[in-house]
């Protein structure tokens, strides 16, 4: 049944796809973005528009810090969970080059059983706690990337702080940054690959992202965005010293424009590998993304077109197949939405979490109706501005 549903998700966008509206002029995009930003009381936000797989517009609005210095297109901002999308592209490259097998047990990439590795609490979860649960052997790079590991978002969030399985790997979707950190562990400890170096060489250098890094760089300090929380409090930029595949990336809107253009156009991947990234692979069966371990909806209440790809969420709408990834913390709100038809994308980086309230209206203004699952991403109680 699941295979039939995923086949349907793949085929539906081929029929009944609406013609795409023209992309608004840069001046109209800027005016609408600033209007929405004011309505949301957001202090800073940046946008990039991709059309035909090419960068069509990049702009930044508002402030980068409480001193009132302007946010610019080369200001370094926190990418948050957009890191996962970039890491997914890296893993697709490694699979294409036969460094890893997306569907092989992670046990094949380790020189000893996972629970036998000594705990490294400052970098990874304590995997020794899985010694009595052989389900770790069922984990594959694919299941870790499509969020069906069975783990909570992070092990340290468990009541006892210990990693555990909440469902059998591959049986359902449950957002888990811990899964991507485990895949990072397999690459680094099992295969001897440094993820920070790989990301730099295979993603940032490939896509022309000179002001993007998985860890803090001193040259970022001269043009850096702090953030603002929902109550308007200023929060300084976190100078992250550890590579975290789930969310340590710093970047700029100009760099993310180049990433989105390369990603949607398939740069660096074969056509088959590019399809695998954004192929609907696992139905998403919950009412919202968070809380991550909520009960599944009855089949009749699920959104039939919503599924997990590799590091992204896939959907279909009036213009056909699309995919997206969000990124969020207390002082940051980001999104990257792409429509396959016309290779069109909108990237928005907000150094004020209140910017998230603008995302549905701003994406629709640029791309037209897309079918992006905003209510699933943010929950039904989220208030958006129009």
Instruction: Say if residue 85 is in the same domain as residue 140.
Output: no
Q: Beta partners for 344?
A: 339
- Cα–Cα–Cα angle for 31, 341, 280, rounded to 5 degrees: 110
Instruction: Say if residue 217 is in the same domain as residue 325.
Output: yes
384, part of any domain: no
How high is the pLDDT of residue 33?
98
* 266/262 Cα distance (integer angstroms): 6
Domain end: 135, 159, 192, which one? 192
The string of pLDDT tens digits covering residues 142-189 is 999 999 999 999 999 999 999 999 999 999 999 999 999 999 999 999
The string of pLDDT tens digits covering residues 337-354 is 999 999 999 999 999 999
What does each C-alpha distance from 336 to 55, 65, 101, 244, 274 come to in angstroms?
Answer: 14, 23, 27, 20, 17
Helix (H, G, I), strand (E, B) or coil at 233: coil
Instruction: Say if residue 222 is in the same domain as residue 91.
Output: yes
* 322/372 Cα distance (integer angstroms): 8
Is residue 201 predicted with pLDDT exceeding 50?
Answer: yes
What does each C-alpha distance from 211 to 63, 88, 204, 214 come to in angstroms?
Answer: 19, 20, 9, 10
Instruction: Say if residue 106 is in the same domain as residue 86.
Output: no
139: nearest Cα among 176, 99, 187, 182: 182
Average pLDDT over residues 260-279: 97
Instruction: Say if residue 61 is in the same domain as residue 126.
Output: no
Instruction: Say if residue 167 is in the same domain as residue 254.
Output: no
Instruction: Say if residue 125 is in the same domain as residue 269.
Output: no
* 105/169 Cα distance (integer angstroms): 11
How high is the pLDDT of residue 250?
98
202, part of any domain: no
Average pLDDT over residues 71-78: 98
Instruction: Say if residue 91 is in the same domain as residue 173.
Output: no
Identify the band that residue 122 occupies on the pLDDT scale cut at 50, 70 and 90.
Answer: confident
How high is the pLDDT of residue 15?
53
What does each C-alpha distance from 351 to 67, 68, 247, 248 come to in angstroms?
Answer: 14, 13, 15, 15
Instruction: Say if residue 139 is in the same domain as residue 220.
Output: no
On average, the pLDDT of the chain sits at: 95
The string of pLDDT tens digits covering residues 202-249 is 999 999 999 999 999 999 999 999 999 999 999 999 999 999 999 999
376: nearest Cα among 317, 289, 270: 289
Instruction: Give the DSSP letter of residue 224.
Output: B
**Number of domains the chain is built from:** 2
Q: pTM of the predicted model, to two decimals? A: 0.95
The string of pLDDT tens digits covering residues 362-379 is 999 999 999 999 999 999
Instruction: Say if residue 311 is in the same domain as residue 179.
Output: no
* 286/1 Cα distance (integer angstroms): 18
Could you tell me if 182 and 136 are in contact, meaning their C-beta atoms sit under 8 angstroms apart? Answer: no
14, part of any domain: no
Q: At what angle do helices 82-96 and 177-185 cross, to 10 degrees?
A: 40
How high is the pLDDT of residue 161?
94
Instruction: Say if residue 30 is in the same domain as residue 150.
Output: no
How high is the pLDDT of residue 4?
42
358: nearest Cα among 339, 382, 338, 381: 382
* 87/203 Cα distance (integer angstroms): 8
376, part of any domain: no
Instruction: Tokens for 176, please give them.
Output: 């888990």
**Is the model more confident about 17 or about 203?**
203
- Cα–Cα–Cα angle for 198, 346, 374, rounded to 5 degrees: 100
Instruction: Say if residue 88 is in the same domain as residue 70.
Output: yes
Could you tell me if 308 and 173 are in contact, meaning their C-beta atoms sit under 8 angstroms apart? Answer: yes
b/e 72-111 (16+ beta carbons within 10 angstroms → b): beebbbbbbbbbbbbbbbbbbbbbbeeebebeebbbebbe
* 324/302 Cα distance (integer angstroms): 18
What percentage of the chain exceeds 90 in pLDDT? 94
How high is the pLDDT of residue 11?
40
* 111/116 Cα distance (integer angstroms): 10
Cβ neighbours around 19 below 10 Å, total: 9
Strands annotated E in the chain: 44-51, 54-62, 77-78, 227-228, 234-235, 250-251, 282-283, 307-308, 313-317, 320-329, 332-339, 344-350
Could you tell me if 315 and 323 are in contact, meaning their C-beta atoms sit under 8 angstroms apart? Answer: yes
15, part of any domain: no
351: nearest Cα among 134, 47, 32, 106: 47
Here the CATH number for the domain that contains residue 217 is 3.40.710.10
147, part of any domain: yes
Cβ neighbours around 316 below 10 Å, total: 26
180, part of any domain: yes
What percentage of the chain exceeds 70 in pLDDT? 96
**What are the two backbone dihedrals, phi and then psi, of residue 352, each rounded to the nearest 5 degrees?**
-140, 120
Q: Considering only 9-23, 263-277, 284-298, which range has the smallest mean pLDDT? A: 9-23
Could you tell me if 216 and 180 are in contact, meaning their C-beta atoms sit under 8 angstroms apart? Answer: no
Q: Domain range holding 117?
A: 100-192
């Amino acid at each position: 049944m699941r295979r039939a549903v995923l086949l349907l998700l793949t085929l539906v966008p081929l029929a009944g796809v609406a013609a795409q509206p023209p992309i608004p002029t840069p001046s109209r995009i800027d005016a609408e973005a600033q209007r929405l930003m004011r309505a949301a009381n957001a202090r800073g936000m940046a946008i990039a528009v991709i059309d035909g797989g090419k960068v069509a517009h990049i702009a930044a609005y508002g402030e980068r810090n409480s001193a009132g210095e302007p946010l610019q297109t080369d200001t370094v901002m926190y990418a948050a969970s957009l890191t996962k999308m970039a890491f997914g592209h890296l893993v697709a490259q490694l699979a294409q080059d036969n460094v890893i097998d997306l569907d092989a047990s992670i046990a094949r990439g380790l020189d000893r059983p996972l629970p036998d590795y000594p705990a490294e609490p400052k970098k990874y979860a304590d995997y020794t706690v899985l010694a009595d649960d052989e389900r770790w052997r069922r984990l594959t790079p694919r299941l870790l990337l499509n969020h069906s590991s069975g783990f909570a978002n992070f092990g340290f969030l468990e009541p006892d702080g210990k990693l555990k399985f909440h469902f059998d790997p591959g049986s359902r979707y449950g957002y888990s940054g811990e899964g991507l950190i485990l895949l990072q562990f397999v690459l680094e400890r099992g295969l001897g690959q440094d993820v920070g170096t790989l990301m730099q060489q295979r993603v940032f250098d490939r896509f022309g992202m000179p002001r993007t890094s998985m860890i803090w760089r001193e040259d970022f300090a001269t043009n850096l965005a702090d953030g603002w929380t929902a109550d308007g409090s200023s929060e300084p930029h976190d100078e992250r010293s550890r590579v975290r595949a789930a969310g340590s990336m710093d970047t700029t809107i100009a760099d993310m424009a180049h990433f989105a253009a390369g990603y949607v156009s398939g740069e660096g991947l074969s056509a088959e590998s590019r399809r695998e990234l954004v192929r609907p692979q696992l139905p998403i069966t919950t009412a919202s993304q968070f809380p991550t371990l909520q009960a599944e909806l009855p089949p009749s209440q699920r959104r039939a077109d919503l599924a997990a790809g590799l590091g992204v969420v896939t959907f279909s709408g009036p213009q056909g197949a699309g995919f997206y990834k969000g990124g969020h913390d207390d002082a940051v709100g980001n999104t990257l939405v792409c429509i396959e038809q016309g290779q069109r994308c909108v990237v928005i980086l907000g150094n004020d979490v209140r910017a998230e309230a603008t995302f549905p209206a701003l994406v629709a203004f640029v791309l037209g109706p897309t079918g992006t699952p905003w209510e699933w991403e943010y929950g039904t109680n989220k208030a958006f501005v129009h």
